[in-house]
Amino acid sequence: MAHLGKWLVLIGLGVVALGLIVWLFGKLGVPLGRLPGDVRIEGDRWTFHFPIVTCLVVSVVLTMLLNVLMRLFR
């Protein structure tokens, strides 16, 4: 059970770190969710927003980061 507790703490710290990164990107003016190629359709009383390019960029960055971390801890 103690092993599970350690993993939960690590996951929590990871979520906090990710939140800080997103918050700092917002303060620095990085347009996450507003990149060219993100789909945004506006009607009279509704808005549809699908940040497909942002999802691809985040996916590539996380994949590269996890690959580096896996190589370091191997």
How many structural domains is the chain composed of?
2
Average pLDDT for 47-73: 90
Q: What is the DSSP letter of 42?
A: E
pLDDT surpasses 90 at 1: no
pLDDT surpasses 90 at 58: no
pLDDT surpasses 80 at 33: no
- Report the C-alpha gap between 74 and 62 in whole angstroms: 18
Amino acid at 63: T
Same domain, residue pair 48 and 62? yes
The burial class, CB within 10 Å (0-12 / 13-18 / 19+), for 66 is exposed
Same domain, residue pair 26 and 50? no
pLDDT surpasses 80 at 23: yes
47-50 and 39-42 as β-strands: parallel, antiparallel, unpaired?
A: antiparallel
Average pLDDT for 8-31: 86
pLDDT of residue 47: 94
Question: Where in the sequence is the domain holding 38, given as residue range(s)?
Answer: 33-74
Q: Using DSSP, state whether 50 is helix, strand or coil.
A: strand
Average pLDDT for 36-41: 91
Same domain, residue pair 20 and 38? no
